[in-house]
């Protein structure tokens, strides 16, 4: 529809139900149950489509930036995996440990009940819950494509990868993704799984060769709470120093972050502008080097932090993600 004239401009028909609709200045992204269609924002002609999406019962998770499109892939392709990705989930609280133990016991009892039911009724068909458990090992994979370079069928395969594929990495372990969001620049991506307890923030550093050379820095693990929740929306602030997450429980959580990762201090968030990672005073005065020397601890080199078989001359060592608590 035209906002100026109020007339209908164009109509696009689909055979399946539409889950969500996202637009930017260049493309219109329509998310279906197991497919994503991308149309030109001016001509309304289809640019490309993605059929290798992870099947979901609710809204198909997609993240549209200024140029890139992120979606939940069906599984990991080892030959196309990017360097980096999820590094860990941080430490769990005592409440989270108790809840996880209770969930494990409940899952074990449900499996026993299903097995007994199948044996007594001679019914060997798998239930929907069994099917979901069989595909959990393929969940949590994110693929990012370039909307400008993509054309036609844009999906990864064992033999080849699309030239529009930017990154392909693991965002969550054995858990389907429920929400994705880019920041204003398109270099930061936040992901959430269906459990909704933790959010992962990644920095995307693409490479012109292929997705396997792309670097994915896991900057933050943001812990929302110890109970499960369905994530409704994720959003960055314009300066990428705050991240908001809203749930269907009616709660909104605000997390302090920085565009380059690292701990949250008064220096990073009490200034009206984004500050550099390293203070010019500390760098010029050599305070970090002096503190190491005064404590008698030799300064570690980057190549001493990882085994020799993991070292690469052109790829830097990825930092460990930080877990700042929410401020609200």
User: What pLDDT digit, counting tens, does each position of 264-297 carry?
Assistant: 988 888 888 888 877 666 666 655 555 444 444 4
The whole-number pLDDT of residue 24 equals 93
pLDDT per residue as tens digits for the range 180-221: 999 999 999 999 999 999 999 999 999 988 888 999 999 999
As a whole number of angstroms, the distance between CA 246 and CA 230 comes to: 9
> Do 38 and 27 form a contact (C-beta atoms < 8 A)?
yes
Tokens of 249: 């429980």
pTM, two decimals, is 0.76
Residue whose entry in the numeric block shows the structure tokens 């892939």: 73
The whole-number pLDDT of residue 209 equals 87
Cα torsion 236, 221, 271, 286 to 10°: value is -140
The whole-number pLDDT of residue 174 equals 82
> Do 70 and 216 form a contact (C-beta atoms < 8 A)?
no
Residue whose entry in the numeric block shows the structure tokens 């992870």: 54
The whole-number pLDDT of residue 161 equals 60
> Do 83 and 216 form a contact (C-beta atoms < 8 A)?
yes
Residue whose entry in the numeric block shows the structure tokens 């991308």: 38
pLDDT per residue as tens digits for the range 136-153: 557 899 999 999 998 888
Q: What is the CA radius of gyration of the chain?
A: 22
| Cα–Cα distances in angstroms (integers) from residue 114 to residues 2, 9, 122, 160, 174, in the given order | 54, 53, 12, 41, 22
Residues of the chain short of pLDDT 70, as ranges, are 57, 88-137, 157-162, 279-319, 328
Tokens of 2: 């035209």
As a whole number of angstroms, the distance between CA 304 and CA 311 comes to: 10
The whole-number pLDDT of residue 272 equals 86
Tokens of 315: 């790829």
Residues 6+ apart with CB under 8 A from 298: 292
> Do 231 and 247 form a contact (C-beta atoms < 8 A)?
yes
């Amino acid at each position: 529809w035209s906002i100026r004239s109020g007339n209908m401009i164009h109509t696009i028909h689909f055979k399946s139900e539409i889950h969500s609709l996202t637009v930017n200045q260049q493309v219109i992204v329509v998310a279906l149950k197991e497919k994503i269609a991308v149309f030109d924002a001016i001509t309304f002609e289809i640019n490309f489509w993605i059929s290798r999406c992870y099947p979901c019962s609710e809204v198909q998770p997609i993240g549209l930036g200024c140029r890139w499109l992120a979606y939940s892939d069906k599984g990991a392709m080892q030959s196309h995996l990017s360097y980096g990705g999820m590094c860990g989930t941080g430490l769990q609280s005592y409440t989270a440990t108790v809840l996880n133990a209770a969930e494990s016991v409940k899952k074990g009892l449900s499996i026993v009940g299903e097995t007994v039911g199948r044996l007594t009724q001679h019914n060997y068909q798998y239930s929907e819950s069994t099917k979901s458990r069989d595909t959990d090992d393929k969940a949590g994979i994110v693929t990012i494509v370039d909307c400008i370079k993509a054309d036609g069928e844009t999906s990864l395969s064992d033999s080849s990868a699309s030239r529009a594929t930017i990154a392909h990495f693991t965002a969550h372990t054995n858990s389907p993704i429920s929400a994705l969001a880019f920041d204003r620049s398109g270099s930061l991506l936040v992901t959430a799984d269906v459990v909704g307890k933790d959010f992962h923030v990644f920095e995307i550093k693409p490479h012109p060769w292929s997705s396997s050379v792309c670097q994915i820095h896991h900057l933050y693990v943001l812990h929302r709470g110890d109970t499960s929740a369905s994530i409704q929306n994720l959003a960055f602030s314009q300066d990428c120093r705050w991240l908001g997450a809203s749930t269907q429980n009616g709660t909104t959580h605000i997390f302090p972050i920085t565009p380059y990762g690292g701990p949250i201090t008064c220096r990073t968030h009490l200034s009206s502008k984004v500050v550099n990672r390293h203070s010019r005073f500390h760098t010029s005065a050599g305070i970090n080097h002096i503190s190491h020397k005064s404590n008698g601890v030799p300064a570690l080199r980057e190549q001493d932090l990882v085994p020799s078989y993991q070292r690469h001359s052109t790829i830097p060592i990825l930092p460990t993600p930080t877990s700042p608590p929410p401020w609200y």
